[in-house]
Structures are given as structure tokens and as C-alpha cells.
Amino acid sequence: MTKDVTELVARAQELRQQAHHDALTGLLNRRAGEQQLQRCQRAAQLECQGYALILADIDNFKSINDRFGHEEGDRVLQRCAALLSRKVRSGDALIRWGGEEFLIVLPGCKLAAAQELAERIRRTMACEQDAVVGTITLSLGVGAWQPGECSSTLLRRTDQALYRAKTSGRNQVAVAP
Ligand SMILES: Nc1nc2c(ncn2[C@@H]2O[C@H](COP(=O)(O)OP(=O)(O)OP(=O)(O)O)[C@@H](O)[C@H]2O)c(=O)[nH]1
């Protein structure tokens, strides 16, 4: 009987893990990430505790897949996820937001600190050499919550900053005004 209960609890934990996490990278999946973002937004409105976002996107990822194959592309995604995991603090949320795009939610973080973190991430990624693919770079957009703003507006501003980082040459950080 006790063994059955233990197995059920373990299975429930496994299912919860699968429901909230991306199978390839182990990061939070988009749905769980959206919930984290909403929690952060509520705290911002109720307690006036701001937060910041970083959107990081691997540069020219399609050509990595094309040149080295989809499996190597998957490994590059895992490598990026591992690097990002090393850079964030325990209260932050690290999310696989899309194919080769990652969102970091930083509760209580101001714009300047988020920009510094994004720059540290960019530099570390660009300096490390992957044995197969060589240099991998990231473009990053950074935004900080403004009073009265909803999370989708902040997300849109941060995405626009990421777009500027891409169109300005990639391997750079752009900040949402
Ligand atoms: N290996 C692998 N590839 C993926 C995965 N999800 C998305 N992709 C690929 O990621 C690529 C993204 O390509 P684009 O959107 O053109 O972006 P990009 O080549 O990185 O170009 P820029 O973002 O403009 O620098 C597509 O070729 C997708 O097939 C995945 O889970 N694994």
C-alpha cells in the first residue's frame, strides 16, 4: 500500500515536471513561463516591486541546423540553456520562449542591472568556443516594467529591442526605451 502511494506521488511529480518544462532543455516551457510572468506582474502592481525582462535569441540558428544538422542544433540549444542557467539567480525565471528564443524574468530588477546581466551573457556566449559549431552568438533585448504597464506591453517593447539588436548586426544587447 505504502509503495503504491509512493509510486503515485512520484508519477504525479513526473507529470507535473513534464507539464511545466521543455523536454529538450529542461527549462520552463512557455505556458509555465507565462504564469511566472503574470505572478511577477501582480507583484509589480500590488507591491510596486518592478521587474525586468531579457529576451535572448540565438543568431543565425537556421544556418547552424543547415550546416551541422538538427541534432547538433538541439545540442546548441541545450548548451545555451545551460549557460543561461548558470547566469540567473534562484528567484529568476528562465523560460524556453520559442524555438531558439529564451525569456528571463527578473523580479525586483532595474533596467541597468538587467542590461549588465544581458551584456555578461552575450560576452560569455561569444567568448566560448563550441567544439563542433565554433562561435555561437546571441542577440538580446532588455526591458523594465513601468508603472501602469501590463506584461504584454513590456514584452512587446522588449521584443522590439531584440529586433533592433538583430537588425543592428546581431551579437549585441539593445535596451527598450
Ligand atoms: N535543432 C532545432 N532547431 C529548431 C528548434 N526549434 C526551432 N528550430 C529552428 O530554428 C530556426 C530559426 O530560424 P530563423 O527564425 O530563421 O532565425 P535565425 O536563423 O536564428 O536568424 P536570426 O534570428 O535572424 O539571427 C528554424 O530553422 C527552426 O527550424 C529545435 O527545437 N531544434
Domain count for the chain, please give it: 1
Which residues are bridge partners to 96 per DSSP?
102
Do residues 151 and 103 touch, judged by C-beta distance below 8 A?
Answer: no
Residue 72 among the catalytic residues: no
Distance CA 135, CA 132 (A): 9
pLDDT of residue 103: 98
Distance CA 19, CA 25 (A): 14
Its domain, for residue 100, covers 2-175
pLDDT of residue 17: 80
For residue 49, the CA-to-ligand 1 centroid distance in Å is 35
Q: What is the pLDDT of residues 27-58, one digit of tens each?
A: 999 999 999 999 999 999 888 789 999 999 99
CATH of residue 69: 3.30.70.270
Nearest ligand 1 atom to the CA of 64 is 19
Residue 48: DSSP 8-state: -
Q: What is the pLDDT of residues 103-144, one digit of tens each?
A: 999 999 999 999 999 999 999 999 999 999 999 999 999 999
pTM: 0.94
Neighbouring residues of 55: CB distance < 8 A, sequence distance ≥ 6: 97, 101, 102, 103, 140, 141, 158, 159, 161, 162
Residue whose Cα lies nearest atom 6 of ligand 1: it is 99
Nearest ligand 1 atom to the CA of 70 is 1
CB under 6 Å to ligand 1: residues? 24, 57-62, 65, 70, 73-74, 77, 99-100, 166, 170
The ipTM value here is 0.97
For residue 100, the CA-to-ligand 1 centroid distance in Å is 6
Do residues 17 and 104 touch, judged by C-beta distance below 8 A?
Answer: no
Residue whose Cα lies nearest atom 26 of ligand 1: it is 62
Distance CA 136, CA 63 (A): 11
- Residue linked to cell 546548441: 76
